[in-house]
Amino acid sequence: MDFLQTVDPIILWGIKISLMFILVDTFFGWLLAFINGEFDISKAPKALATNVFPYIGGLIVLGVATTLDSNWEPLFEIFAGLISAKFGYEIIKEKILGFFKSTK
């Protein structure tokens, strides 16, 4: 637990916010697929392995590298911002708008 006390709060916030966008996007994607009758639980592990875990893993690895060497901080901030923007855009454009289209 001593390691977490040395982590910059900006890194923790970046990971939390990006993780929130990733998980909300995944949840809305599955919810929309379920509503449309397209949800297949057998495809969920592949979707997690190819569309979710690489972003989370990369973000955590870069966060640890930034904690160990502060020269990585600009790259971490850019990476966390781009991940948040990508998944935030997908939540709004594809998932929420798709949800309203499917309920008509």
Residues present in the chain in total: 104
Q: Give me the residue spans of the domains in the chain.
A: 2-102
Segment 44-93, tens digit of pLDDT: 999 899 989 999 999 999 999 999 898 999 999 999 999 999 999 988 88
23: tokens are 């998980």
pLDDT at 71: 94
Q: Are 6 and 67 in contact (CB under 8 A)?
A: yes
- 22 closest CA partner among 57, 55, 70: 55
Segment 8-42, tens digit of pLDDT: 888 999 999 999 999 999 998 898 889 888 889 99
